[in-house]
Structure 1
Amino acid sequence: MTRVWDVPVHDSTRVRDVRVAAEHAAEHAGLDQDRTVAAALVATELATNLLKHGGGGQILIDTVDADLWLPGAGRGAAVQIAAIDHGPGISDLPAALRDGYSTTSSLGAGLGTCRRIADDFDVHSAPGQGTVALARVYAVRTRRPGRGATGAPVPVRAGGINIPLAAAAYSGDAWACVRSGDHVTLLLADGLGHGPAAAKASTAAVRQLRHSAHLPPPELLGQLHTALCDTRGAAVAVARLDLADGHLDFAGIGNIGARLRSGDTWRPLLSRPGIVGAHRPARLPHTRTPWNDDSLLVLHSDGLPSRWTPPPVALLASLDPAVAAAVIVRDSSSAARPVRDDTTVAVLTPTPQDHQT
């Protein structure tokens, strides 16, 4: 089931909690001692930076599969650590990413250390809006970011943020991205309700995807319906990208939100009413649309407001997809709107050219 460590960081006592959570996540992901130490150090630095420069915020620690960046076999699982705040932002981000930089009396290890130790690292900061910093530490040290096991450029990348309701141990949402030949399939499942029973349903959907990623979305949803029959069911959306022909097929059952951006235009991709594993529609047409070099797909569960406003296109395309997902969640949240469910956002985007070389 999807285990997420959601740690609010508003005083120094929580830094230890973040480190311990990172160690538990590393054990969950099967990291060895050296990789566990790296994950714990990165988590500690991000939490400390959150207090010193963001005025406090939230640390999310999750375990993700190597399919996240679609590199083929060899990297194993990873611990993903995201630090999110609504603080003043970082005025000089390039300087902050250098080892030894500090605007306080600290040693200045922070973000520079995280970038050096982590296998994947990205940060976005905007004055007056806050900062999102994200790192991944894999079971196997990454040799060349953005490239597959054969050394060929990875044409697309995917990432996501999963936030359980009320900082619960398990999220009822789950997402995954799997490559099968020239096809890349992004799935987001929202188990009915929340808690362990919902997590069981969404986890079953991800497990079935790994066996059936070669299928078109309508057929895959049929397989998922059978796989989820002994669970409480889930809302599921499936998007399958054909890398050879350059088109995207989409189908969904339930209330998973989906938006596709091409150029300067966003368009919704519509799902059918129903519950996978319980109430499947008699007909399940799917949407086929071109996928271009400037396309970007966002899937989200109903924990996110349905009328969320997309950040600037150029910003989303330039960020690690998980950072883009975190920015969407952060900028859509409001103290006036209580969250009543798990919240997950998954993003699929072409890999920028500077990440393919």
Structure 2
Amino acid sequence: MPRVWEVPVRDSTRVRDARVAAEEAAAVAGLDERRTAAAALVATELATNLLKYAEGGTILIDVVDPPVLPEGPATRSVQIAALDHGPGIPDVPAALRDGYTTTRSLGAGLGTCRRLSDDFAVHSAPGRGTVAVARLSRGPARGAAGRSPGPLASPPGPGGTGGTGGWRAAGVRAGGVNVPYASATHSGDAWAWHRDGDRCTLLLADGLGHGTQAARASTAAVDTLRQWAHLPPGEILGRLHEALTGTRGAAVAVAQVDTRTERLRFSGIGNVGARLREGDRWRALLSRPGIVGVHRPGRVREDDLPWTGDSLLILHSDGLPSRWSPAPDAGRPATDPAVTAAVTIRDASSSALPVRDDTAVAVLAPDPPDRP
């Protein structure tokens, strides 16, 4: 079962915990000594920044699929996300420049984090806080060569990725963030995605309850997806039902984008939420009641919808509040899908509404044709 590391950073002793967690995740991902040291440095700097600028926050570390899938097997990455409810960064470009250091940090700064990472993105809003997401995989850092996406993408222009006029699907990106309940070692939620030619399929599974048995169910769903991702979502759910028999079962949502036909197909069983942006409004995609692996409905609903340059799909487990709805500006300007997922979790959390389950959010977004 995949490990998920959650490190609440409330004092300086937890900075070391963030570094150790990054080193453990690097071992799982198969990073060499040099890249492991880079992951440890990024985690240390992000944790230190939480204390320095936001009076604390949370570090989430996971081993994930890349945001853009290549043809064939993909190398998994260590993903380090830092979330806070602080005052925000007044000048993100300045914070990313070399020399932006503090006496309480290593002097590395966000600029070095960006160079060390394959992907690095920052979202900050005054009064709402900051989210930073870094991914590091085997091999040299792509960020060092300037191929990493910037901290915030420019707003889409006419006929670009912001509207349907003149837009042609170049591909899709996906990312997610997973928060285990009560800082447990394993999360009962899991997300994954798989590419089969023009079809890109995203899955989010919420194992019944939480803990290791829930994690076994959601892990079985992820493993099965890789075998059947060439099928439509409704048929994938049928295969998942067979694979999860004998487990606790799980709520599962499956979304599939065909970049050739520019269509989105969606099916779900159980209480995994789904929100699709259509222009200036959000549509809730409905799942059928049931538990994959335990009780499958007689007929599985499958939605078939347009997928445009302005589409954005958010899948989430029931760790989010039941009345949650996406912010009007979610994912705008276009940025890393994992950042959108992390912002969603941060903005939906509240000390007045304690979380009683694992929480996972996965996001599917168009891949801008001019992405670096």
Q: TM-score, normalised by structure 1?
A: 0.94
Distance across 1 between alignment mates of 2:301 and 2:231: 15
Deviations 1:202-251 (A, max 9, x none): 00000000001000011100000000002110000001111110111111
Letter paired with 1:32: D
User: Are positions 1:205 and 2:221 aligned together?
Assistant: yes
Give 1:127 shift.
1.0
Q: Which residue in 2 is equivalent to 1:11?
A: 11
Equivalent-residue separation in structure 2 for 1:74 and 1:270 (angstroms): 32
For the residues of structure 1 that align with 2:332 and 2:37, how far apart are their CA atoms?
31
Q: C-alpha distance in 1, partners of 2:333/2:2?
A: 27
Give the deviation of 1:338 after TM superposition: 1.2
SS class of match (1:318): coil
When the two chains are superposed, the root-mean-square deviation of aligned CA atoms in Å is 1.7
2:59 touches 2:80 (CA, 8 Å); kept in 1?
Answer: yes
User: Using the alignment, how far apart are the partners of 2:337 and 2:291 within structure 1?
Assistant: 28
Q: CA deviation at 1:160?
A: 0.3
Match of 1:343 in 2: 359
Q: Mean alpha-carbon deviation: is it higher for 222-231 or for 107-116?
A: 107-116
C-alpha spacing 1:248/1:11, structure 2 compared with 1 (3 Å): same
| Residues 21-58 of structure 1: CA deviation (Å, up to 9, x unaligned) | 10000111111111111111111111111111121110
Measured at CA, do residues 63 and 102 of structure 1 come closer, stay the same or move farther in structure 2, by a change above 3 Å?
same
Q: Which amino acid aligns with 2:13?
A: T
1:263 aligns with 2:262: no
Structure 1: 5+ residue stretches without partners: 147-152
Aligned pair count reads 349
Which range is displaced more, 203-212 or 73-82?
A: 73-82
Q: What is the CA–CA distance in structure 2 between the aligned matches of 1:192 and 1:314, rounded to whole Å? A: 28
CA offsets 1:98-128 (integer angstroms, 9 cap, x no match): 1111365656422111011111000011111
Does the CA contact (< 8 Å) of 2:313 and 2:363 recur in 1?
A: yes
**Identity percentage of aligned residues:** 67
SS in 1 for 2:79: strand
> Matched residues in 2 for 1:141 and 1:175: separation?
26
Residue identity opposite 1:22 in structure 2? A
Q: Secondary structure at the match of 1:3?
A: coil
TM-score (norm 2): 0.90
Shift of 1:155: 1.6
Find out whether 1:27 has 2:27 as its counterpart. Answer: yes
Matches of 1:155 and 1:31 in 2, distance apart? Answer: 27
Distance (whole Å) between structure 1 residues aligned to residue 279 and residue 316 of structure 2: 21
1:131 maps to which residue? 130
**1:317 Cα deviation after fit:** 4.9
Conserved? CA contact 1:9–1:51, under 8 Å: yes
> 1:177: Cα distance to partner?
1.2
Q: For 1:307 and 1:106, how far apart are their aligned partners in 2?
A: 39
Alpha carbons 1:174, 1:188 under 8 Å: kept: yes
Q: Output the CA distance in 2 between the equivalents of 1:317 and 1:91.
A: 17
Whether the 8 Å contact between 2:170 and 2:368 is mirrored in structure 1 is no
Query: What secondary structure sits across from 2:304 in the alignment?
Result: strand
Q: Confirm or deny: 8 A CA contact 1:70 1:154 kept in the other structure.
A: no
Give the match's secondary structure for 1:285.
coil
**SS of 1:69's equivalent?**
coil
Match of 2:157 in 1: none
Distance 1:263 1:2 in 2: 36
Q: Distance in 2 between matches of 1:35 and 1:123?
A: 21
**Structure 1 range deviating more: 40-49 or 135-144:** 135-144
Q: Deviations over 1:283-334 (max 9, x none)?
A: 1121111111100000000001132232233644512100101111111111
Which residue of 291, 308, 316 corresponds with 2:324?
308
1:227 is aligned, of 215, 231, 243, to 243
Letter in 2 for 1:191: G
For 1:113-128, list aligned pairs within 5 A. Answer: 113-128=112-127
Candidates 213, 232, 236, aligned match of 1:216: 232
Cα gap change, 1:21/1:301 in structure 2, threshold over 3 Å: closer, same or farther? Answer: same
